[in-house]
Amino acid sequence: MELQAQIKKYRTQLSLSQDELAEKIFVSRQSISNWENGKTYPDIRSLLLLSEVFGVSLDQLVKGDIEIMKKAITEQDIAIFRRDSYILFVFMLLMLLLPFPLFKYAGWWGAAIYLLIFTAGMFVALKVERQKKKFNIQTYKEIVAFYDGKTLDEIEAAKEEGKRPYQKVLMAAASAVVSLVIFFIMYFLFR
């Protein structure tokens, strides 16, 4: 992508160090380094701040990157990600429902079978996480949405809605309650 070269070019033209640029746009020096080395991609807010600091339009800053981003996640990638997500869901259900029946009816062999299911489930979970990191889904989605005519307010509203701290706490608590209920049901059914 061209953005990494653009950031470095404009930063050196203004005789700014990575630390100085980071301070101006409220990120860490490591973030600037990662952007310049192509390890990560700035979010839309950082791109707007960069274009303001450099005195260039957002179009000039990102040049051909938008088309690359639109093509970065193909339909096949989405289908693979969706499939892996469903497989992960099935493994999570199996890990929740099978411990008591396997151990009761198969003894230690059941525990070994459960360990295999658990290992396969964790493998799929890691694969899904790698895909999310590889495609940088959230950042690309925000930038492409911005360029497709959605306002920053719409993007920010969606982003904030997904990041509400209480939602994560409620989800964790609900998952714990559901897991405990299923645990006790399985315990009383298979003891």
Residue 101 to residue 95: CA distance in whole angstroms? 11
Q: What percent of the chain has pLDDT over 70?
A: 75
Residue 145 to residue 74: CA distance in whole angstroms? 16
Checking if the pLDDT of 156 tops 90, the result is no
- Give domain limits for the chain: 1-63
Q: What's the confidence (pLDDT) of residue 68?
A: 62
Provide the whole-model pTM.
Answer: 0.51
Are the CB atoms for 47 and 26 separated by under 8 Å? no
**Collapsing DSSP states into helix, strand and coil, what is residue 26?**
coil
Could you give the dihedral angle defined by the CA atoms of residues 94, 97, 100 and 105, in that order, rounded to the nearest 10 degrees?
A: -60
19-28, 44-53, 65-74 — which one is most confidently predicted on average?
19-28
The dotted CATH code for 1-63 is: 1.10.260.40
Checking if the pLDDT of 50 tops 70, the result is yes
Angle of CA points 34, 85, 127, to nearest 5°: 45
